[in-house]
Structure 1
Amino acid sequence: MSGNNYTVTCNHCKTVNTVRGKAMTLAMTCSGCGYYFRLGSWNDAASVSFITKEEPAIPVGAKGRFDGVIYEVMGFVVKQETKYHYSWREYLLFNPYEGYAFLSEYNGHWNFIWPIEENPRPIGGLRDYEVDYDELQYRIFQKYNATVQYARGEFFFDVVDMTDATFNREYIAPPFLLAVEESSDSVLWCKGEYCTRKEIAAAFNIPVSKLPGKKGRGYTQPMSTSFKDESLITLSLFLLIVVALAQIILSHSLEETVVFNGDFDQKAMNDQKMLVSNSFDVNGSMGNLQFELYAPLTNDWFYADFSLISETTGVEYNFSKDIEYYSGIEDGESWSEGSTKGTALISQIPGGRYHVNIYPEFSTSYQTFSMKVTRNVSMFFNFWITILLLMIFPIYYFIRKRMVEVNRWSESDYSPYYSE
């Protein structure tokens, strides 16, 4: 190798390369032949000729803005994990005042990564499983060794030898990650944060279509929600309490009143095959009416159509009811099914004077029944329907979140959702 602080001549093809990183650059690839070599210790044994070639989605030399800081892409590498042989891409970024950082891309998912000075604190003394940093708990996602499959550009360290010599661990607390590279003589901790393809494209002012398409879920990709789990739980509990209090207040404010109670017999049926109740008054502007029927049946049935008729307006409210009750003894054990009672509820009945026309069908065994009509009965059915509707979204959200997490951890050997 020959040259000065700003240029270096490749000993392999004699191309003169401009060194953009100047004294900070310790290794680079030749712009002519693509050979990787270390500056200051050039020899053929130290150079690497990569068999595979890959074009970076973000060109070396491009500049992008992250959190108001402009970084330049100094180098690009393709790394491969040694056990499962999956590959990902890393971009070395540099700013003269902020130092260096990295962009990591795997299956179209991006993480912006920067070195940190503090070492995260192991939780429970087990650094291999969980660590604490900035009041967040990170769980181990993967441990691996890797090799460099391809490199282009300049590096402030021997990226090939360093990658071969380091053991890596990555911990996640989406959208954040912690990564540690550990060798026999050094330990480097970094923190990362998930970036969308749109954010990367905007940072470098390039079309989104130029970036690799997303596949699956990124291991630090957050769920796309505008709220936190704690906020959803707090809001849901608040709404449940409000609905419960409203039900209690409504139940206490309504006064249940029996407005009719009478017995009926088939013998009283007129020529129109109907029974007519006595008239009764319903108080209040608007409320419900509950009809309770009782037929003294044994192994028999009773059916009737009912018409509640307003004597003031002539409006009719119709319903029907079927009552069956059967019982017996079989194999020495008694059994029964059905009931001798039935209930019907009509909502939104205005106050006024009413009577009921009844069109019954009797069996040959029983010809009597009774009916009680009650005004302003507490309607817990609506209460439980409201509770169910309020719970649909939280239940859906947490089921979906679990499915997302199961999918996220499917590529990890340390998934909390799968036992060995």
Structure 2
Amino acid sequence: MSDDALSVDPTPPVEAQASPPATPVTPPSTVRALSCPNCGGIVNVRAQGLTVSVLCEHCGSTLDATRPDLQVIARANEALKTPEIPLGTRGTLGGRVWEVVGYMERTDEEIGWAEYLLFNPYEGYAFLVDDGRRFSLGIMLDRLPTMGWANSMQLDGQSYSRFGDTYPVRVTFVVGEFYWRVAVGETVDETDFVRPGTMLSCEVYQTERTWTRLDLLDWGVAEEAFGISARRREYSHPAPHEPSPYKRQLREALVVGVVALLVLFVVSGIGGSEQQIGQTTTDAVLDGPEKTVVIRGLDLPSARSRVVVDADAGAIDNAWVDLDYSLTDEKTQDSVDTYGLAEHYSGSDSDGSWTEGDPRPEVSLSSIPGGKYDLVVTLSAHRWNGGSSSSSFSMPTGFAGGSTFGQDSGQTVPITVTIKRGGVFGGNILLAFLLIAIWPLIVLFKNFAFEKRRMAPVSGSGGDDDDSGGDDD
């Protein structure tokens, strides 16, 4: 057996011991504190190695962050302002923690807005744009959009419409640290392309062109993230990329309206059938005395119902028949009175032949209580003397009197009166339709007005409209 096989490790075994809990290691701070060579104030550089210029929070001087001694690039030209979100504030947006490292104000000479430069060591830089109403989160694009139809741009399968012309944007105030040498008075040419919820902003400075995508944040998200006061919702001056707050309401109104219309048509169809409950035919003497006929035993259901009285005097020409109706309850003798007129005229003039009038009038009575009724019809017929001889009408064989209107005295006109119950009023259906359509029409108008304001040319003047809407899309 070899020596190697017999060798024994002389080191005694060591008993396993539980290791003490690891002490969390606090990463060294990335903030570098330096003194401003102009005022001596402490300047904190938060993004070391990336920051190019720093604006002193104490005196406003522009400092060169690439030099260890922070040499002064430019002196402050105006008093310092305090941003609503202080420098160094951290907040979480979209699941990422961002720190405010810079702040500047810009203008297009009509309106102004604020931009916060945000920094995350893993994500890089982002912009929080504040237009005074709402916040948008801007991320610089690492790819170029492509041209679409009618001056639009395409990005990730979505189309963005051009908003107005290219316009100059000037920096009016700046403080904090930036990854480029920004200064008051710096001007770029900007072009915007919008779709609801998002904007593509193209900025051109000298020979450099940059693209930024701005996503509109929901109301209160940025305020909650950075601990500032929530803002009141108002839609009098919407941002160019702001979704309409009325779209959801419009969808709901259309759905409810369609359902209501279907119910209306079903109900009107069920209750719209008419049932004949009485009829009589009588003759009226032209220019003769009044005649009265009674239709008895008209049964109406216990519930209130609609009653229709139709008169048919289709044989008349150049004449009219006055019809007085009285629907009387046999038990209470309460009556409902109404009036109808059957008429028809014809003739010819220099423009040719003409006709007018309705020989078959219909009269409707609503909400008649149930019971047994009699209908008293009083009628009288009259000739019209303005008709020409060419407009005379031959009566069918078997009619009483002569063969032609206006020739023989005692000529009669046959009239048939029919009573029906049930059905619905066309005016009520129209009124119900209009009431159902009011809500969708109002929301549609508000949505149209919002879109008109959204795409209107930017103006610094305007009212203080309190128009408010529903939730964003």
TM-score range, shorter chain: 0.7 to 0.9
Shift in CA distance, 324/132, structure 1 to aligned 2, threshold 3 Å: farther
Secondary structure of the structure 2 residue equivalent to 1:397: helix
Q: Secondary structure at the match of 1:219?
A: coil
Pairing 1:405–2:451 present: yes
382 and 85 in structure 1: CA distance in 2 versus 1, 3 angstrom threshold: closer
C-alpha change, 1:120 and 1:244, in structure 2 (3 Å) is farther
Q: Which runs of 5+ in 1 are unaligned?
A: 414-420
Map 1:113-124; keep pairs closer than 5 Å.
Answer: 113-115=137-139, 119=143, 122=146, 124=148
Q: What is the aligned counterpart of 2:86 among 33, 53, 59?
A: 59
Indicate the residue corresponding to 1:417 in structure 2. Answer: none
Alignment counterpart, residue 107 of structure 2, candidates 77, 80, 91: 80
The answer to whether the Cα contact below 8 Å between 1:101 and 1:112 also exists between their aligned partners in 2 is no
C-alpha separation in 2, matches of 1:320 and 1:132: 71
Aligned partner (choices 376, 395, 411) of residue 357 of structure 1: 376
Letter in 1 for 2:171: V
User: 1:367-394 CA distances to partner (integer Å, 9 max, x unpaired)?
Assistant: 9654222233465544444333333322
Structure 1 residues 118 and 30, CA, compared in 2 at 3 Å: closer, same or farther? closer
Partner of 1:168: 190
Aligned-pair distance for 1:344? 1.5
* In structure 1, C-alpha distance between the alignment counterparts of 2:59 and 2:450, rounded to whole Å: 45
Q: Which residue among 40, 62, 65 is the counterpart of 1:36?
A: 62
User: How much identity, in percent, do the aligned residues show?
Assistant: 22
1:179 aligns to 2:196 (yes or no) = no
Structure 1 residues 135-174: Cα deviation after superposition (integer angstroms, max 9, x where no partner): 653322243342211101222333449964x543322222
Partners of 1:111 and 1:177 in 2: how far apart?
A: 12
Name 2:279's counterpart in structure 1.
260
- Aligned-pair CA distance for 1:279: 0.4
Query: For 1:381-396, what aligned pairs fall within 5 Å after superposition?
Result: 381-396=427-442
For 1:247 and 1:256, locate their aligned partners in 2 and report how far apart those are by CA, in whole Å. Answer: 15
Q: Which of 298, 306, 326 is the equivalent residue of 1:288?
A: 306
Give the Cα–Cα distance (whole angstroms) in 1 for the partners of residues 380 and 143 of structure 2. Answer: 84
| 2:144 is aligned with 1:94 | no
Partner of 2:228: 206
Larger helix share, 1 or 2: 1
Distance 1:72 1:212, change over 3 A: farther
1:151 aligns with 2:178: no
The 1:320/1:30 distance shift into structure 2, 3 A limit, reads same
Unaligned runs of 5+ in 2: 1-29, 385-410, 460-473
Alignment RMSD (CA, Å): 4.2
Distance (Å, rounded) in 2 between the aligned partners of 1:162 and 1:187: 19
Moved more, 13-22 or 298-307: 298-307
User: How far does the alpha carbon of each residue in 1:164-189 deviate from its partner, in whole angstroms, 9 at most, with x for none?
Assistant: 4x543322222333334456456443
Q: CA deviation at 1:351?
A: 5.5
Task: Determine the structure 1 residue equivalent to 2:360.
Answer: 341
1:286-318 C-alpha deviation (Å, 9 max, x unpaired): 543211234576666655553212324544334
Residues 62 and 321 (structure 1), Cα distance of their counterparts in 2 relative to 1, 3 Å cut: farther
- Please list, as runs of the form range in 1=range in 2, the aligned pairs for 1:227-242 lying within 5 A after superposition: 227=248, 232-242=253-263
Work out the CA distance in 1 between the residues paired with 2:321 and 2:92. Answer: 80
Question: C-alpha deviations, 1:12-43, integer Å up to 9, x for none?
Answer: 44444232444443222113321223311566
> Distance between the aligned counterparts of 1:27 and 1:212, measured in 2?
36
Residue 342 of structure 2 is aligned to residue 320 of structure 1: no
Tell me the matched-pair count.
395
1:410 counterpart SS class: coil
Contact 1:179–1:191 (CA<8 Å) still a contact in 2?
yes
In the superposition, the TM-score normalised over structure 1's length comes to: 0.74
